[in-house]
Structure 1
Amino acid sequence: MTTNRRAFIKTAGLGAAAAAGATTLAAPAVHGQSPIRWRLQTYAGPALAEHVIKPSIDAFNTVANGEMEIELFFADQLVPTGELFRAMQRGTIDAVQSDDDSIAAPVDISVFGGYFPFATRYSLDVPVLFNQYGLREIWEEAYGEIEGVTWLSAGAWDPCHFNTKNPIRSLEDLKGLRVFTFPTAGRFLSRFGVVPVTLPWEDVEVAVQTGELDGIAWSGITEDYTVGWSKVTPYFLTNNISGAWCGSYFANSERWDELPAHLKQLFRLCMDSSHYYRQHWYWGGEANLRVNGTDMQLTTIPEAEWQTVEDEAMTFWDEIAAESERNARVIEIFKKYNAVMKKAGPPYRSA
């Protein structure tokens, strides 16, 4: 009876409003309406995407409750990774999860996406730099100058180590190594004789097996085991050139602007959920697999010798700073941040 009365009152009210010529107000989405549909492509292959993005997209689709649905595509599935930015700009795809460097974002700060040498030591450095030291505002400024793409959020992934077919125990062992890596990381590593090689992500394992590649400098040990690289590269170098990969979410601006406020907020919450998941998944995985992993033998370049690489990174920083005024601001933030961390001492930086 109560249900019938409420239905009657609701129907009567709508009828009266129509009769009076009142403007119909926008109503919430009703089940049965066609949902908003997005296609999002990640930089990651299927096994890796199971951790770095899929849980958050599954959660979004559940909580969106029929109003919106995001279809997730993996590395190079719709568009080659290097063409992702232009495809998103054209509206071929609606959103992207990757780093600025790999997708060839046409902004000066793209060099800082992925692995910028020694900018970070730990994964927590990335969100602190963006949320407390001003990188967020710089990224928003840079992408605000580019038509058609909206930068949404940055987060941290794993550190950048070498996993190789032969052991690396000195800088001399790096010379001539054909390595799959990120553009800016490769640009830096070439100073030590490394030969950067660009391939589709899905071809990397076979390229190691056939001898096209001698190794990989694309991840930490967690990804090596997750995606199967640990089976073809039996050595893992404990020295790294960056403590955390810096990746972002982007969207086609028109599609983003079309979203109602609550769906934008839901997507932001799911991005944060993804960032949080990676913090603990990588942090725990890197330690656990060094200790308990059985596929890879750990090797190390002595600290005094590795210092040569760290020192060269400071020269590299200054060269990047000279490329644009905005790059110089980013480098200044890195220097300020690392000075604070060093003064703070353990656990922020070693004494």
Structure 2
Amino acid sequence: MTTRRKFIQGAALAGPAALATPALAQNKITWRLQTYAGAALAEHVLDPAIKMFNQIAGDRMQIETYYADQIVPTGELFQAMQRGTIDAVQSDDDSMASPTEVTVFGGYFPFGSRYSLDVPVLFNQYGLNEIWAEEYAKVGVKHISAGAWDPCHFATKDPINSLEDMKGKRIFTFPTAGRFLSQFGVVPVNLPWEDIEVAVQTGELDGIAWSGITEDYTVGWADVTNYFLTNNISGAWIGHFFANMERWNELPEDLKMLFEVCCQQSHYYRQHWYWGGEARLRVHGEKLKLTTIPDAEWATVESAAREFWEEIAAESDVKRRVVDIFKQYNTDMEKAGRPYRYT
């Protein structure tokens, strides 16, 4: 009784603040976040930001990370997040089969960007953030932020030196990119991310159009392919952080802000990791031989992309809004000249 009485007296003297820390620890928020990326890639594109968040949030909140297909297949990420099986997702719209009007623009929208800086400018200065927020709010998901990843190139077992060489190639790529490339004879193949390396080794795939050269080296694809085509389909992948809307709304404002800041740090890290890596591995990498389709011939692909944009824009008013932004942005960049555009 003496010990109990002393404890109660001490707590009364210390006031409510003395009991605040244990209460927070008991009510720690735990989230599960799954990324589209496998473990080797997530080490760069996700882990540093989440480790930073967890360290700062401490006993108040922790985020558990899961890699490609660990809880659900990548194509089911949206549904799992929407129903609350997982709390947050790092992915592009296309790969996670988002049911929104903007899904077709996720990942690598053909020639939608030329450089990685194009992506944050499109979202933060040309209005794409507002459109994405509107579309995801309609389906109970919080769009947190968008960022740029690497450009999209072919890595193949056999060399590609012309458009003719693309014909019949079985290629792992994003849904929208596959839809676009099929007009050039490419055969898009959809497989789990973790199965790609073996599929190339066994001949199920002839190559990959999923990333730039940095990812090819990082995840092991440069070990099973021989050639890297320097012409790219898109200058930067458009990827995002999303959260279940109910889980997001339950967070205190400072934890929302912390998560947003850590997402921005993740975007910034990728910006320089990819930009430097793409150049360094082209110059110093020893695993892939570079090939190039001549500019005059590649212009055929660029021209087809503009027609593809109009095809997409005709599908809905929202898609028209997005395509018009892409068109205005690229017109502005071309008029701005060097270093924004060279042609």
Query: TM-score when scaled to structure 1?
Result: 0.93
Please state if 1:85 is matched with 2:86. Answer: no
SS of aligned partner of 1:239: coil
SS of aligned partner of 1:38: strand
Which residue of structure 1 lines up, in the alignment, with residue 120 of structure 2? 127
Please state if 1:69 is matched with 2:70. Answer: no
Which residue of structure 2 lines up, in the alignment, with residue 331 of structure 1? 323
What is the alpha-carbon distance in structure 2 between the residues aligned to residue 264 and residue 325 of structure 1? 31
Match of 2:286, as an amino acid?
T
Match of 2:221, as an amino acid?
W
What is the alpha-carbon distance in structure 2 between the residues aligned to residue 317 and residue 110 of structure 1? 14
**Alpha-carbon contact 2:148-2:271 (below 8 Å) kept:** yes
Match of 2:323, as an amino acid?
I
Which of 117, 129, 151 pairs up with 1:159?
A: 151
**Alpha-carbon contact 2:25-2:60 (below 8 Å) kept:** no
Which residue of structure 2 lines up, in the alignment, with residue 4 of structure 1? none
**Alpha-carbon contact 2:126-2:325 (below 8 Å) kept:** yes
What is the alpha-carbon distance in structure 2 between the residues aligned to residue 29 and residue 269 of structure 1? 26
SS of aligned partner of 2:142: strand
Structure 1 residues 13 and 288: CA distance shift in structure 2, 3 A = closer
Q: Displacement, 1:33?
A: 1.9
Please state if 1:302 is matched with 2:302. Answer: no
Which residue of structure 2 lines up, in the alignment, with residue 343 of structure 1? 335
Listed as ranges, the gaps of 5+ residues in structure 2 are 1-7
**Alpha-carbon contact 1:80-1:200 (below 8 Å) kept:** yes
Which residue of structure 2 lines up, in the alignment, with residue 259 of structure 1? 251
Q: Displacement, 1:189?
A: 0.3
Which residue of structure 1 lines up, in the alignment, with residue 4 of structure 2? none
SS of aligned partner of 1:104: coil
SS of aligned partner of 2:85: coil
Spell out structure 1 runs of 4+ moving beyond 3 A.
7-10, 12-15, 26-32
What is the alpha-carbon distance in structure 1 between the residues aligned to residue 138 and residue 25 of structure 2? 39
Please state if 1:11 is matched with 2:4. Answer: no
**Alpha-carbon contact 2:214-2:278 (below 8 Å) kept:** yes
What is the alpha-carbon distance in structure 1 between the residues aligned to residue 247 and residue 256 of structure 2? 11
Q: Displacement, 1:216?
A: 0.1
SS of aligned partner of 2:339: coil
Match of 1:70, as an amino acid?
I
Structure-to-structure mapping, 1:1-351, within 5 angstroms: 11-12=12-13, 14=15, 30=23, 32-146=25-139, 148-351=140-343
Listed as ranges, the gaps of 5+ residues in structure 1 are 1-6, 16-23
Structure 1 residues 29 and 10: CA distance shift in structure 2, 3 A = closer
Q: Displacement, 1:12?
A: 3.2
SS of aligned partner of 1:312: helix
Alignment: residue pair count: 335
How large is the RMSD of aligned CA atoms in angstroms? 1.7
